[in-house]
Amino acid sequence: MISNLIFDFDGIIIDTESTEFISWREIFHEHGCELKQEVWVDCIGRPHGYFDPFAHLEDLTRQVVDRMAINSKRRDRVKALNNAMPILPGVENLIAEAKERNFGIGVVSSSTRSWVHGHLDRLGLLPDFDAIICKEDTLRHKPDPDPYLAVLDQLKSRPNQAVVFEDSPPGIHSAKAAGILCVLIPSPMTRHMAFDMADLHLESLADISLEFLLDRFSGKSPFTFTA
């Protein structure tokens, strides 16, 4: 019986993936070059450091850039964009339904603890989560199963008692490698990527209720694979 809901953060709770891309795309345009979306989306769901946009910018411009000045300007731009970002549709209703049933509620993110906790606090969602796993909490990250195994441990849940909401292939692979049912809700940045591993594909969390989810997955065993 499902009794735990686990959310990815970026792209599932708020669309910070688009704001990061917008800020970097503007920087690249200022330097006379283009940050292609297909390059950016490859790093979605992966930990910070997987892709170095500064190095990519320097490769394209063939010159050294002022990283400190760029980062300061970009951080201000991202902060302004993110502060205007609402909670994505359906998230609050699903959390409320889960709390009514005394479900465990978790977050698993490849972003830093300060990033995830800061945004959840700003949005008024931080008290709703019983377990939050961020980049610092595991040695290995998505698509490795360790982050989802860690949140299962904190929630005191078995894999077949949980459902994950993800928007990226690395996140889906991580959840499936941990043996958990996974619902795909693609973000504007990830909707053209391959998602053959997901158990259910939705356009928005607003499309479902918790009751629908429980009925859909009643008695279903998640497909698992070896990462």
* CATH code: domain of residue 132: 3.40.50.1000
Terminal CA-CA length for the chain: 25
- Range list of β-strands (E), 43-157: 104-108, 131-133
Single out the residue in 29, 50, 83 at which a domain terminates: 83
- Average pLDDT over the chain reads 91
Range of the structural domain that residue 182 is part of: 4-15+87-217
The two three-digit tokens of residue 156, written as one number: 């005191």
pLDDT in tens, 110-151: 999 999 999 999 999 999 999 999 999 999 999 999 999 999
Same domain, 110 and 213: yes
Looking at the domain assignment, is residue 222 inside a domain?
A: no
- Do residues 106 and 128 make contact, with C-beta atoms less than 8 angstroms apart? no
180 closest CA partner among 203, 202, 156, 198 = 198
Same domain, 106 and 183: yes
The share of the chain scoring above pLDDT 90, in percent, equals 77
Q: Is residue 201 helix, strand or coil?
A: strand
Note the pTM of the prediction, 2 decimals. Answer: 0.84
pLDDT value, residue 223: 46
Rounded to 5 degrees, what are φ and ψ at 189? Answer: -85, -20
The two three-digit tokens of residue 9, written as one number: 């953060």
* Residues labelled catalytic: 8, 10
pLDDT value, residue 42: 80
Same domain, 197 and 127: yes
Same domain, 8 and 22: no
Strand partners, 91: none
